[in-house]
Amino acid sequence: MSEPTDCGPSCPTLGATGLPELADLAVLVRSTVADVADRHDLTPMQGRLLCLLLDGPLRMAELARRLGVEKAALTGLVDRAERRSLVERRAVPGDRRAVLVALSDAGTSAVSVFHADAADALDAMLGDLTEEERAAFRRMAATVVASASASASASAVG
Amino acid sequence: MSEPTDCGPSCPTLGATGLPELADLAVLVRSTVADVADRHDLTPMQGRLLCLLLDGPLRMAELARRLGVEKAALTGLVDRAERRSLVERRAVPGDRRAVLVALSDAGTSAVSVFHADAADALDAMLGDLTEEERAAFRRMAATVVASASASASASAVG
DNA sequence: TATTGTTATACTCTATAACTATA
DNA sequence: TATAGTTATAGAGTATAACAATA
């Protein structure tokens, strides 16, 4: 009989989901954010979409790129968000093919409370770590995300 | 005009997805695991399902609980995995209502390579951290996940 | 011709409610 | 009656391919 969990000295321990700690953490973060979104009557994806628009309107193509979905999928996401009056489509002066997606007033209100609550919930998730650990953890998370973005850009260029 | 990203001294910086570092990290982990699953012709959810069965067969109810989905949703997940010959439904001696879900031979092969590749990919994701940082990071991730599981059990009991 | 976005289609994942079979 | 699981239904999210309009 094989022993699936005994895969060598560097084998990541099987956690709650049978995957490495990092995968378990991601599942936990996801469900935490999903709960917050749910309390604000948003889907998790709508939460992400609205958060991306906090800094200003974006074109469909750019939004799709940042969300990591195909443009055809984004059409549906924006359709549903627009139907719920969270965002609006605007024309781009000078290019009649393009579409700018912007937060509506309702979307702006919704996303500010959602963003604050999500940040609080994720903060609370780290409650068992010391202040120093939390800071280190966030810094390392940011490092990892940044280096991943960097290699993504690099492979897109090269 | 409001400045959505300026929400006070403890405001988590808007990252790649407009959410805190932890949310960005979760998105990154998710997409990394999804890529690995895709290379093995699995959906990410099938990957999780199979990993949970690595330690042995589980009942539908227990599997649903561990995956964090409703039992009705699990029926579909198991249907599709069974249709692809990754898992099989077995009878539970002594309770003819119950169903045990077990890895098939094909599922066992599939999950071992998937699990190893996912672990490697997540390891590689931490490549920009030092050895000590990686260890600390994994330990903190495990702590956070464990304390979340603990409070989940506590609220289920109390 | 190339680019921007939408439509058409098909799937996975998910929840809720109603149901069947068994305990 | 209570529990284990399925069926029915509806909707979100996703990809691929084909398309329209504009550049």
Residue A66 has pLDDT above 80, yes or no: yes
Amino acid letter at B75? T
Task: State, as a whole number of angstroms, the distance between the CA of B95 and the C1' of D1.
Answer: 17
In a domain, A13, yes or no: no
Starting at the edge strand found earlier in the chain, the sheet holding B87-91 runs: B58-59, B99-103, B87-91
Instruction: Name residues of chain B where pLDDT drops below 70.
Output: 1-15, 155-158
- In the three-class reduction of DSSP (H, G, I as helix; E, B as strand; rest coil), residue B9 is classed as coil
Note the pLDDT of residue A156.
Answer: 61
- Where residue B84 sits, what CATH number does that domain have? 1.10.10.10
Note the pLDDT of residue A7.
Answer: 35
List the single protein residue with the shortest CA to C1' distance from D17.
Answer: A72
Candidates B45, B53, B35; CA nearest to B106 is: B53
Residue A70 has pLDDT above 90, yes or no: yes
Which of chain B's residues have a Cβ under 8 Å away from the Cβ of A68? 27, 31
Residue A14 has pLDDT above 60, yes or no: no
In a domain, B151, yes or no: no
d(CA B148, CA A123): 12
State the residue range of the domain holding A120: 21-128
Taking the CA of residue B131 and the nearest CA in chain A, the distance in Å comes to: 12
CA dihedral B135, B143, B123, A27 (to 10 degrees): -170
From the number of C-beta atoms within 10 Å of its C-beta (0-12, 13-18, 19+), residue A72 rates as: exposed
Q: Count of CB atoms within 10 A of residue A40's CB?
A: 16
- A109-149, pLDDT tens digit by residue? 999 999 999 999 999 999 999 999 999 999 999 999 999 88
Nearest to A112 among B4, B111, B122 (CB): B4
- Asked if A16 and B145 touch (Cβ cutoff 8 Å), the reply is yes
In a domain, A39, yes or no: yes
- Asked if A27 and A17 touch (Cβ cutoff 8 Å), the reply is yes
In a domain, B32, yes or no: yes
Tokens of B143: 């702590």
CA dihedral B121, B122, B123, B126 (to 10 degrees): 120
Beta bridge partners of B101: B58, B89
As a whole number of Å, the end-to-end CA separation of chain B is 46
Average pLDDT over residues A12-17: 58
In a domain, B40, yes or no: yes
- B25-45, pLDDT tens digit by residue? 999 999 999 999 999 999 999
In a domain, A138, yes or no: no
Beta bridge partners of B58: B101
d(CA B141, CA A25): 6
With cut-offs at 50, 70 and 90, classify the pLDDT of residue A22.
very high
Contact at CB, A125 and B2, closer than 8 angstroms: no
Which nucleotide, over all strands, has the C1' atom closest to the CA of B75?
Answer: D6
Note the pLDDT of residue B5.
Answer: 36
- B2-14, pLDDT tens digit by residue? 333 333 322 334 5
Average pLDDT over residues A24-32: 95
In a domain, A6, yes or no: no
The number of folded domains in chain B is 1
